[in-house]
Structure 1
């Protein structure tokens, strides 16, 4: 009985998240509540489920809120823009260099974990360069998407935060073994970009000569000049480095680290309480939205776990799966992680699929962390190939590209890169 109700709840949650007709908060709240009532649980039991689930995700929700506010303030202060502009200036005129610079720009621009910001920073600046050199804009989007995907493993980015909420582990702690994977992945991407750039150069050489080409300057959208003084820029860089170091070393909880960083960044960049609160207000909607989703996910997981539905589903599925499949289900699903992006959005993948897989493989000795790493590393590179990604639609709009052609162009390269990254993670001992 619990298995049937639990599967119905998960199906309803995934369907709700995929439909786009209701918000994730609604989709994560109502189906488990209705299911718990049908299963015969009363208000006292449901209250206990809710409280236990909320307690698990509260630190993650707090971390997300303060991280979004901190990176928003840093972004508004222009911390990342000079780096990206420098890369663009250095790579003009050389197809291979432009491809490599694009991959690096995608990673740097995604340091704040926000896909929309990544594409707003990079696409308007890079697209004219690609058009001038007759490079494919789909190559630009592919490289930006993979770079953003690698840096989407940061603890303040959406996927790791969701995964941390599901298994009840601090996201900064969950991230530390991934640092080496990200480092190797960044090097791999640079090599991959250079290779694709070389092939692109060969393709362009076969094209007929253009009679007239618009210059970069004619097409380029001018970037606003920074008004910050060198002293303020130095302070911002120091604050950013200190926050990153504190997160890596784990000296304080991640939420507190971001709160301290925000408290240092605001007075440096904004004069007076009114200006500082206005800076917070600009990014408050995103922060509150993500915090609300994480808290709603806590209630969903609290009901599913506390009621015994997850355990029932896992036990029954474990009996049905072949003996050779059940212990390695997380790896099998990770291998197909990129194609999953075409049918599941991020919420459905981490809140619907992850908890069930974790319950199935746990009796076979797989740790929750290994399950997260297998599913995430196999999936994360394909984040921005998903039709369910609003940031991707923004990138397509900015560059004038089509979703279908982007999927056809990028799916196989992304999938191949994802599998290589999984192999690297295995060699680094991430799966334990």
Structure 2
């Protein structure tokens, strides 16, 4: 019981530190478990072995994150996605419903790098003027971008799957494959929601401002595209002449990743090694591109490594097993087989209470250990928690990228949560039901 108490307090303290934003995740996940292990009576030599075991389980994930973020950063610098985004903006033709649907598609494309900050930096400046010209609600823009980016956040080089893979010690691309269908269905559901909300928005605009004329809509689209083209002309990093070569390289890397013939980290390492000299022959330019994206890559990698240390200590000391064994005895038997579904159902509200790190590094290991005790497969628990939670990623005040988005759009967090929470939670529950029906999550 003493191990359970120490382990529970360790997780609770880490969660509180992450929630209150008192320290960085690295500090919380390194120092707190270290102190806990010492209090539990383990020596530094033993703790060093626990650290080594934990680090080994997450090393491949950390490597993948570093090179994936660098690779996608270079692809965005080279302007690979810009023509597609501009074409989609033109395709909307100023129709409110089409603009809503186009927002979902544009955000999905922009979030292929798995980084929320870059997604908002690409999409909000491009689309906000269009929304303003058409008198559309900017909170609808944020809902659709955030929802689309959240569903795309299931890609293996984004945070949630990397965190989950490090917790369960599984290959991140293997973890991702069953979720591809869920992502496709999720985007389809979001498109349907965009149509519904677009119709509602069109009625609101007509009632408040009258109908927007075709000439006004066309002028709005032309202005937005003109501004976008001008920015791209002024940019020195874009490589429009190499767009097809970059597209082939991009699709090849993704194809190799899905195929699984080589480790994901190696695939991105090769892709980056080709992309840098291809787009930026000058060595200084190559170094500058790496330096530009290195902070994001290293931040995520260091968090993953710190989580490896945390999980190594909690697992090897027996704290997680002890917590699960004791909790299993007090959970009502009729709830036990559905524990993973219950946690998944409340995944979006959990986003308002827990940071992503706290949800995956503190809550997931405990729920998994408890669920295993009732015969629930670890992967089924992980999928239920991922699908249930991930749609709410950009409704959470714990998301730094969301604060960036609010700043770019000049919006308020409270109003965004009130506008988006109901719809995002609905999409989350629908996807969880779909996951059960297609067998991704078992009962």
Cα 1:36–1:404, aligned 2, differ >3 Å: closer, same or farther? same
| Equivalent in 227, 232, 256 of residue 222 of structure 1 | 227
Aligned residues: 432
1:240 corresponds to: 250
What CA distance in whole angstroms lies between the structure 2 residues aligned with 1:113 and 1:368?
24
Deviations 1:72-98 (A, max 9, x none): 111111111221111111113100000
2: CA distance, partners of 1:17 / 1:66: 26
**What is aligned with 2:63?**
62
Listed as ranges, the matches of 1:278-317 within 5 Å are 278-317=288-327
Could you say which residue in structure 2 is the equivalent of 1:14?
15
Q: Equivalent of 1:362, from 359, 362, 372?
A: 372
Measured after TM superposition, the shift of residue 182 of structure 1 is: 0.7
Q: Distance in 2 between matches of 1:211 and 1:160?
A: 43
1:65-123 CA-to-partner distances (Å, cap 9, x unmatched) read: 01011011111111112211111111131000000001111111110000011111111
Secondary structure at 1:339's aligned position in 2? helix
Determine the C-alpha separation between the residues in 2 that align with 1:245 and 1:107. Answer: 18
Long gaps (5+) in structure 1:
none
Q: Where in structure 2 are there 5+ consecutive unaligned residues? A: none
Contact 2:78–2:239 (8 Å) recurs in 1: no
| Contact 1:107 1:147 (8 Å CA) reproduced | yes
Output aligned runs, 1:88-107, within 5 Å. Answer: 88-107=89-108
**Displacement of 1:129 after TM fit?**
1.0
| Larger CA deviation: 346-355 vs 85-94 | 85-94
Is 1:85 the counterpart of 2:77? The answer is no
**Distance in 2 between residues matched to 1:387 and 1:133, nearest whole Å:** 28
**2:433 counterpart residue number:** 423
1: CA distance, partners of 2:45 / 2:192: 57
Q: What TM-score comes out, normalization by structure 2 length?
A: 0.94
User: How many Å separate the matches in 1 of 2:331 and 2:274?
Assistant: 53
Cα distance in 2 between the residues matched to 1:211 and 1:159: 41
Q: Secondary structure at the match of 1:206?
A: helix
Q: Write the deviation string for residues 346-403 of structure 1: whole angstroms up to 9, x where unpaired.
A: 0000001000000000122222211110001001110000001111011111111110
Distance in 2, Cα, partners of 1:184 & 1:79: 25
Q: Structure 1 residue 257: deviation in Å?
A: 0.5
Seen in structure 2, the aligned counterparts of structure 1 residues 211 and 257 have a Cα distance that, compared at 3 Å, is: closer
Is the Cα–Cα contact under 8 Å of residues 128 and 220 in structure 1 kept in the other structure?
A: no
Q: CA deviation at 1:412?
A: 0.5
CA-atom RMSD, angstroms?
1.8
Q: Report the CA distance shift for 1:352/1:211 in structure 2 as closer, same or farther (over 3 A).
A: closer
State the distance in 2 between where 1:229 and 1:108 align: 18
Instruction: Give the one of 338, 348, 352 matched to 1:338.
Output: 348
CA distance in 2, matches of 1:126, 1:92: 13
- Cα distance in 2 for partners of 1:175, 1:56 equals 17
Q: How far 1:272 sits from its partner (Å)?
A: 2.7
CA-CA distance at 1:168 after TM superposition? 0.3
Secondary structure of 1:348's match? helix
Partner of 1:163: 164
Pairing 1:102-181 to 2, within 5 Å after superposition: 102-181=103-182
Whether 1:410 aligns to 2:420 is yes
Q: Deviations over 1:285-340 (max 9, x none)?
A: 11111110000000000000000000011011111110122232111010010111
Deviation of 1:428 (Å) = 1.6
1:256 pairs, out of 259, 263, 266, with: 266
Q: Deviations over 1:189-214 (max 9, x none)?
A: 11221111111111111114499989
Deviates more, 1:311-320 or 1:17-26: 17-26
d(CA) in 2 for partners of 1:325, 1:221: 58
